[in-house]
Structure 1
Amino acid sequence: MAEQYKSLHPIKYYRDYLAHEIRPDGREFNKFRPIILNVGSLDTADGSAIAKVGQTTVVCGIKAELCKPKAESADKGFIVPNLELPPLCSSKFRPGPPSDQAQVLSQLIADVIENSKCIDLTDLCIFPDKLVWCLYIDFICLNFDGAVVDASVIALMGALKTATLPVVNYDAALDNIQVDADHRKYLTIHSTPVSTTFAIFDDKIILADPTVEEEDLCTGILTIVVKNDDELCCVHKPGGSPLPDEDLFKCIDVSVERVPLLKKLIETSIKNVTN
């Protein structure tokens, strides 16, 4: 009977729960779902990780290729992130070109990488104006159940912190490249961004770590990215209900409080593999 009521009147179904300060899945408004991170999952990638936030599951794989830098940034490499939302992850998506949502989320992840400066592009330079690394960072969502950016950023950091690149020797005089695949080095990671998504319900109730049902029924979505414990990196709110400054600051505080926990989760996952 409850499922029929939910199907026929989804918004009223949620309002009945939220009126008692609890969500249909039993969580309080600021309660987060369990998080699982597994690194080094893909043998064919230079770095990889699988992150699971509740039922939302994202795989991140990093593949490095040698290329020539741009003339205007001769000492900088490239980072090319791309998020796929295939029909496999949800009936919301269809086969074919990337959906608008996938393109928006890919750009958001690119902004997180750039604003957090977790990777210094000059670290990817092998020889100025001649040879640099290009990191293709591909994300595939296996199960779409809300807060996909949060899962993607966790998977991103797990993949970056375990990624290794082969040692490359370049002779500029002979334009000769020698790749030593037997000797590899880790990337230098300069910060650890953490993403937290909130849903705004009925223009006033803020729900942390929303499920896909909550995202579909909400009147606004807010994603906050914090780095290095308390530095605000990115605030993304694509339209929807306006959010008073007081509520925005509360969301930022909640996001900051999560950083040490998620950083510890990432570091623990990495130690389990490297030790």
Structure 2
Amino acid sequence: MSISATHAAAASETAESSSAASVNAAAVFSRLHPDQYLSRFLSKGFRPDGRTVRDWRDVSINYDPVSTADGSALVRIGETTMICGVKAEIAEPDLARPNDGFVVPNIDLPALCSPRFKPGPPSDEAQTLSNWLNDLIVSSRTLPPRKLCIVPGKAVWAIYIDVTCINYDGNAFDAAVLAVMAALRRTRIPGARWDEVTSRVLCSRTDKYPLPLGRIPLSCSFGVFQSKYLLPDPTAFERPLIQITMTVALDEEGFASLVRHEGLGGIEGVSGERLVGEAWGIAEERVKVLRTIMSESE
């Protein structure tokens, strides 16, 4: 090997070693001083994952990944991946509400999706997200209970909505809501009728119909860092550093189905009204994008 080639190889090896050392130093700094690490990125107009401050992560939707479900969808928002399966079963109505069917939503954050979750009973975060999802479905009347009635007082549909996180990288609620709404749009239930002779419900083997859906809300979540940075779609790294979180869910007409504001601390330098106004405006545009993705993916 010539002297020049030797020097070039040595220089390349030195550059690679220097680059690796810089990456390792950045990783150590992010673990020891996460607040400063995030702050330095935001001061330059970027996020640690390469997005600008107000950017959202890429979204993809795959329909019908679960063949045994009546409707299903798999959603990816960045590295966060959620799968939703919908199952319809015949049930007896509540005596107090003989014309109402049932909707039973649940979000599972298993230990396999992230080191932050442990095996055992559902985590507090999973229970909270399940409650939020239930509130959203009820407030928006996505599945009106009266429309799930087969025969008043005798038989109704019970719609089970199960969402499982496959990989967790923050903003699980937005991903779960998108997966649920996409799966509900694909759900087909068999034609059902009451047979007086046998006193039971008979279901068609061939005729299937879409669910009687009402409003289809979609969710947009934000974090507020250092009382001045509004961060859409926070990641798992950013979420523990955020003092305030906001979630806005809007239906097809732009009406709110759910608005949540959580967290401690003030928002010095930024009025609450202005902050909510900015988030609302961003959410309106984002929801339009999500609806387009949902339609084009079918």
User: Could you list the runs of 4 or more consecutive aligned residues of structure 1 that deviate by over 6 angstroms after TM superposition?
Assistant: none
CA distance in 2, matches of 1:268, 1:85: 28
Q: Which moved more, 1:155-164 or 1:174-183?
A: 174-183
Task: Give the corresponding residue for 2:211.
Answer: 187
Question: What do you get for the CA RMSD once the two structures are aligned?
Answer: 1.3
Task: Give the corresponding residue for 1:254.
Answer: 282
Shift in alpha-carbon separation, 1:242–1:186, aligned structure 2, 3 A: farther
Task: Give the corresponding residue for 1:39.
Answer: 63
Q: Does 1:120 align with 2:144?
A: yes
Q: Deviations over 1:200-257 (max 9, x none)?
A: 1112211001111111111121111011141011112233345611101110111111
Cα offset for 1:105? 0.3
CA contact (8 A) 1:192 1:263 kept: no
Cα offset for 1:181? 2.4
Cα offset for 1:174? 4.6
Q: TM-score, normalised by structure 2?
A: 0.87
Identical-pair percentage: 35
Runs of 5+ consecutive residues of structure 2 not aligned to the other structure: 1-24
Q: Does 1:140 align with 2:168?
A: no
Aligned residues: 270
Q: Does 1:86 align with 2:114?
A: no
3-state SS of paired residue (1:71): coil
CA distance in 2, matches of 1:189, 1:158: 12
Task: Give the corresponding residue for 2:183.
Answer: 159
Runs of 5+ consecutive residues of structure 1 not aligned to the other structure: 271-275
Q: Which has the larger radius of gyration?
A: 2
CA distance in 2, matches of 1:269, 1:20: 35
Q: Does 1:3 align with 2:31?
A: no
Matching residue's letter, 1:80: V
Q: Does 1:70 align with 2:94?
A: yes
Partner residue of 1:98 out of 109, 112, 122: 122
Q: Does 1:231 align with 2:251?
A: no
Task: Give the corresponding residue for 2:45.
Answer: 21
CA contact (8 A) 2:155 2:201 kept: no
CA distance in 2, matches of 1:127, 1:37: 35
Q: Does 1:205 align with 2:229?
A: yes
Q: Deviations over 1:110-142 (max 9, x none)?
A: 111111112221111100111000011000001
CA distance in 2, matches of 1:124, 1:24: 46
Cα offset for 1:27? 1.3
CA distance in 2, matches of 1:222, 1:8: 27
Q: Deviations over 1:64-94 (max 9, x none)?
A: 1111111222111000000100011100000
CA distance in 2, matches of 1:242, 1:72: 45
Matching residue's letter, 2:54: N
CA contact (8 A) 1:229 1:260 kept: no
Task: Give the corresponding residue for 1:57.
Answer: 81
